[in-house]
Structure 1
Amino acid sequence: MTEPLIEKTSGWRGTREIWIEAAYQALLENGIDGVKVMPLAQRLGLSRTSFYGHFSDRDDLLNALITLWQSKNTGNLVRRTEDYAETITEAILNLFDLWLMPDLFDSKLEFAVRNWAHTDASLAVLLDEADRVRAGALQAMFERFGYDAAYARVRADTIYLTQIGYISMIKDGPSEPLGPRLQRMPYFVEIFCGKAVSEAETARFFARHPLADKGN
């Protein structure tokens, strides 16, 4: 039996945030069918009625998970494409931070939401919209550095579909060591944009992700 995540305290109904966190963990572990009120209450060591102090029903909780996914993954990706960069290679390395920092882009949540969308038509619509927004932001990033719209779109799709495909293949996280993966990223940048990453840009990128120097 799963141990409660928090200690039950008489009269305490928890917080909205801990219910969302418990639902998030259940979604990652068991898919959308695992996100149910009673199992979550048991997981948290709270009563079922405590849930209704924060959410009107299960759908309200599911909408909170969708909002988390939209804000974290789509919102952060769009913002990262708009971050300052002097060159397209630097802009793509800024984007690559998303794939390496779960606080910026949650690949496990992305995988879980995409699986969930297979059985939820309304979520599938939101997922299609998220894909359009993200690809559009990537295209705008290329156009900002002088790429023709048609080429910018193809390059944007190449980056996006490569990463989404990577996420779809690795439910439990990357199977390859992080160090070698980081070392290859400047080569991916060159493939994606047709320009080599400078030594200074590579150094700044590796400084943000020091495992790259250790090959771990």
Structure 2
Amino acid sequence: MAKGKVSKDDWTMAALRALARDGVAAVAVDVLARELGVTRGSFYWHFANREALLVAALETWERHGTTEVIATVRGTVDPVARARTLFAEALGDEKIAGLEPALAAQTGHPAVAEVVARVTRARLVFLEEVCVGLGFGPRDARHRALAAYAAYLGWLELRRTAPESAPEAQFQDPGAAAALDHLVDMVLAPIGADTTPE
């Protein structure tokens, strides 16, 4: 990357990659400047300090991983297709591998805790909306939203920590689509329904 051509977005994405690798402590201006091939001085064109970079990075994650996904999926009219599209989008190819579990592990930092809490609320509300659209009552929709979100977080953790034991959790695995379909069927099936494939 040429000097002087580094944008604010380049800095925030570098910060998110650092967060995914080693947590909040890894968001170090000097280290990121070396990674981007620029001087430390270029950082100050975009941010007042390291905390401002961290907040901007977290807001970028929130926008790309939640706000934009919800807006896209909400446009799907058919309720079943909407639910499947949401899971496919959420558990598809990660732009930054391991970022979600890394952020969940860093909620001791106030800025991370605030954004993770806001993202979790928004995602659960949307999952409830999706479940209500499928005909579930408010209480059941809430419970299914919680189960779906727990499954999502667990799926990402399996992807990160157990790629050999659970290869189907990997986006590029040949069995990933079938495993994801089964997960969606389990979460969305009526209570007592048999979700065993024929």
2:8 equivalent in structure 1 = 16
1:115 equivalent in structure 2 = 105
1:125 equivalent in structure 2 = 114
TM-superposed CA distance for 1:52, in Å, is 0.7
Structure 1 counterpart of 2:157, from 168, 174, 182: 168
TM-superposed CA distance for 1:20, in Å, is 2.1
| SS at structure 1 position matched to 2:78 | coil
Alpha-carbon spacing, 1:59–1:19, altered in 2? closer, same or farther (3 Å): same
The residue type paired with residue 154 of structure 2 is G
C-alpha separation between the residues in 1 aligned to 2:86 and 2:179? Answer: 15
* TM-score where L is the length of structure 1: 0.74
Q: Residues 32 and 116 of structure 1 are in contact (CA less than 8 Å); yes or no, is this contact kept in structure 2?
A: yes
TM-superposed CA distance for 1:21, in Å, is 2.6
* TM-score where L is the length of structure 2: 0.80
Q: Which runs of 4+ in 1 moved over 6 A?
A: none
Cα deviation 1:164-206 (Å, max 9, x = unaligned): 122234336854042212113332222112269xxxxxxxxxx
Gaps of 5+ in 2: 194-198
Aligned residues: 184
C-alpha separation between the residues in 2 aligned to 1:19 and 1:122? Answer: 17
Structure 2 counterpart of 1:93, from 60, 78, 84: 84
Please identify, of 160-169 and 63-72, the stretch whose mean Cα deviation from structure 2 is larger: 160-169
Cα deviation 1:34-80 (Å, max 9, x = unaligned): 11111112222322112111111111110111111110112134235
Alpha-carbon spacing, 1:27–1:173, altered in 2? closer, same or farther (3 Å): farther
TM-superposed CA distance for 1:126, in Å, is 2.7
Structure 2 counterpart of 1:74, from 58, 66, 76: 66
Q: Provide the alpha-carbon RMSD of the alignment.
A: 2.4
Larger relative contact order (CA 8 Å, sep ≥ 6): 2
Gaps of 5+ in 1: 1-5, 197-216
1:54 equivalent in structure 2 = 46
Q: Residues 81 and 141 of structure 1 are in contact (CA less than 8 Å); yes or no, is this contact kept in structure 2?
A: no
2:124 equivalent in structure 1 = 135
